[in-house]
Structure 1
Amino acid sequence: MFVQAGKTKESIIEAAIELFTSKGFRGTTIRDIAARAKLNPANISYYFQGKQGLLEACLVSFFEPYLSLLEEEKRKIEWEDPEICLHRAIRKVLVFQSENHLLSRLVWREITIDSQVSREIISSYLMKERYYFKTLTSAAVGEKHSILPVGMLIIQLKGMLSTPFLNSQYVSEVWGMHPKESYFIEKYYGSIIEWLQSAVNVQKSALYVARLPAPAIKTV
């Protein structure tokens, strides 16, 4: 009984993700989702209390495991090299989004739309996401390299992690591969790590220059 209920809910969520992604939330009806899932429309009302409840379930199905990945690496910085933890978190996030590319696209698109649903459901998740990224990045970069704000690194890193899945068609045109491909993940992960290390080096260089004595000004 419980197994059957779980499979039914899973089928509804999978159908909703596909249709919300291709037709949009407003353009998708309960009947569309039920037809795709090959179920009676009454099942959607029973399990999710309507289309908005179903969208909320889709968002939760993304953020719960996504944040668990970040939280796991955040805990490890207490006994492991923080830089390794940050790099590992980046790769885990990319792999997770690649394996759930349609859901990732739906979630990041809903955030850009800034609908009432996204504000109510996503805001608390985004606060946790910012906390985990700030903790990981600050620990990896170090407070002593604060000339280039850690906040700016987080904003840029966040954009790099979400953009390929929000604009997968553009990525396919530029790189000739889709974000759901494992080869893309390996190449893109390497590019992010190179950028991150370069950004940290810029911080260190800027810190060194800032500490140099100011040149003497000759007076006539």
Structure 2
Amino acid sequence: MKKNPTKQKVIDAASSLFFQNGFHGTSVRDIADKATVNVSLISYYFKSKQGLLEHAVTQYYEAYLKAIETSIAENESASPLDRLKKMVEAIIQYKQSNHQFTCFVHRELSLDSIFVREMTVTYLAKENYFISNTFSAIFSKNKKYNQQSQFLLMQLKGMLITPYILQNEWKNQVVGDYSHNQFAKNYAKSIADWLDYIVQQNEE
């Protein structure tokens, strides 16, 4: 389905402002001014600021999960380790290409707010299913892994969100599309190197 460009402009403006000022620190007027649209247009499209947030989060997560599913399908014949590496690449590339909204979402997740419970529980459960199953397939026959699987999986999940919890560590050094793309590639490579290391350790 083709996106409505004006509607998307409002979502993009809201994403930027939510990232900078937080949800409660952003008004509908702020969003309208940044998007250069009339306030009434936001009410027409989304009913309210909360409705705009819900729409933006739904759009973000549906595209995010689609990126993961596409990666799984495209690498179905690869080894479990390579499938996971490709999934990590897809996850980091998606998060980095939407880095402002990603940072905002992860900041909200850390607060365990109503926003989290009502808007992301289904998406997070599906994300966890994809990551956990792909990760576990690497070590399915390794008893040593089974003794520490929970901790290794926790570490992987932590690495996938760390840049978007600690964005101040890199945001001033990453400017422009090319720079963001390189950051995503380099960061995904660092996770791939860690995966190679833990696989090697569990094979010894």
What TM-score, normalized by structure 2, do the two folds share?
0.88
Match of 1:60 among 48, 58, 61: 58
2:19/2:103 contact within 8 Å kept: yes
Bigger Rg, structure 1 or 2: 1
> Offset of 1:65 from its aligned partner?
1.4
Q: Are positions 1:89 and 2:90 aligned together?
A: no
* Residue deviations 1:27-82 (CA, integer Å, cap 9, x gap): 11111111111111111111111011111112112211111122233445653322
Distance 1:136 1:178 in 2: 32
- Please tell me the residue identity of whatever aligns with 1:73: S
Higher relative contact order (CA 8 A, sep 6+): 2
1:104/1:165 contact within 8 Å kept: yes
**Counterpart mapping for 1:1-220 below 5 A:** 6-75=4-73, 78-145=76-143, 146-171=145-170, 176-177=173-174, 181-205=180-204
Unpaired segments ≥5 residues, structure 2: none
> Offset of 1:171 from its aligned partner?
3.3
- Please tell me the residue identity of whatever aligns with 1:199: I
SS of the aligned residue for 1:25 comes to: coil
What TM-score, normalized by structure 1, do the two folds share?
0.82
Equivalenced residue count is 201
Runs of 4+ displaced beyond 6 Å: none
Corresponding residue number in structure 2 for 1:216:
none
Question: Which moved further from structure 2: 145-154 or 113-122?
Answer: 145-154
- Please tell me the residue identity of whatever aligns with 1:156: Q
In structure 2, do the counterparts of structure 1 residues 90 and 68 end up closer, same or farther at CA, with 3 Å as the change threshold?
A: same
Question: Which moved further from structure 2: 150-159 or 116-125?
Answer: 150-159
SS of the aligned residue for 2:23 comes to: coil
Unpaired segments ≥5 residues, structure 1: 206-220
Distance 1:8 1:77 in 2: 36
SS of the aligned residue for 1:182 comes to: helix
* Residue deviations 1:113-138 (CA, integer Å, cap 9, x gap): 22112210100100001100011111
SS of the aligned residue for 1:149 comes to: helix
Distance 2:150 2:63 in 1: 24
Aligned sequence identity (%): 33
